[in-house]
Amino acid sequence: MSLNLDDTKRRMQGAIAALETEFQGLRTGRASAGMLEPITVDAYGAKMPINQVGNISVPEARLLTVQVWDQSMTAAVEKAIRVSDLGLNPQAEGSLIRIPVPDLSSERREELAKVAGKYAEAARVSIRNVRRDAIEQVRKGEKDGDYGEDERHGLEAKIQKLTDENVSKVDELLASKEKDIKTV
């Protein structure tokens, strides 16, 4: 069984994509429509993502709005935002909900930076697991006679290079997110 480097690359990039998604949910001092993505609303007897009951927009740096399509759902959307752990205080005006994004305290900024660090470390571990699996595949391939020793060394070097590139991408994303969080 030979190694598929494209599959290894895809799996490592999957870890980075998951990290980017997690980072979107982390609140910085600025408003972002992605902040509300994880929120679900009790609508029509089911839990629905907030973006399926209204339009989310960012009219100002510290303000989010949700234009609810069905006015009877406004209270449910407002409640869902309030009980989320984002620390937001929505105010409904008809079918429009305004959500001011408060400044973060320095303690909260530090907590968020630590959470971002944990997310990044989980992504690094995931990338290293992909590397381990790929190298095991190569060594098994050498035992089975698919590769010679030189080929194995070459493939292991390529796998390590991919790993290093992806881990440094994680580090860049983390540095950018920490800068975002700590910017007042």
Say yes or no: 125 and 159 in one domain: yes
User: In terms of domains, do 89 and 44 share one?
Assistant: yes
Residue 58 vs residues 21, 86, 101, 104, 178: alpha-carbon distances, Å: 19, 16, 11, 18, 22
Q: Are residues 135 and 76 in the same domain?
A: no
Domain boundary among 100, 129, 153: 100
Q: In what order do the strands lie in the sheet with 63-68?
A: 54-60, 63-68, 96-100, 91-93
Q: Which residue among 100, 132, 157 closes a domain? A: 100
* Whether 72 and 125 share a structural domain: no
Residue where a domain stops, chosen among 100, 118, 134: 100
Q: What domain count does the chain have? A: 2
Same domain, 16 and 60: no
Co-location of 19 and 109 in the same domain: yes
Q: Give yes or no: residues 68 and 90 share one domain.
A: yes
In a shared domain, residues 73 and 51: yes
Tell whether 164 and 151 lie within a shared domain: yes
Assess whether 126 and 84 both reside in one domain: no
pLDDT tens digits, one per residue of 29-58: 677 777 787 788 888 888 888 888 999 998
Same structural domain, 113 and 129: yes
CB contact set of 165 (below 8 Å; sequence gap of 6+): none
**C-alpha count within 13 angstroms, C-beta hemisphere, residue 182:** 11
Q: Are residues 110 and 163 in the same domain?
A: yes
CATH of the domain at 134: 1.10.132.20
- For residue 95, what is the domain's CATH number? 3.30.1360.40
Indicate the pTM of the whole model.
0.67
Q: Which domain holds residue 41?
A: 30-100
Which residues, in sequence order, are CB contacts of 79 under 8 Å at separation 6+? Answer: none
Phi and psi torsions of 169, nearest 5°: -65, -40
| Digitized pLDDT (tens) for each residue of the chain, 184 residues in all | 567 888 999 999 999 998 988 887 776 667 777 778 778 888 888 888 888 899 999 888 888 899 999 888 899 999 998 887 677 889 999 989 999 887 777 887 888 888 889 999 999 999 999 999 999 999 998 999 888 889 999 999 999 999 999 999 999 999 998 888 887 6
Pairing verdict, β 63-68 and 96-100: antiparallel
Rounded (5°) CA angle 133-138-140: 95
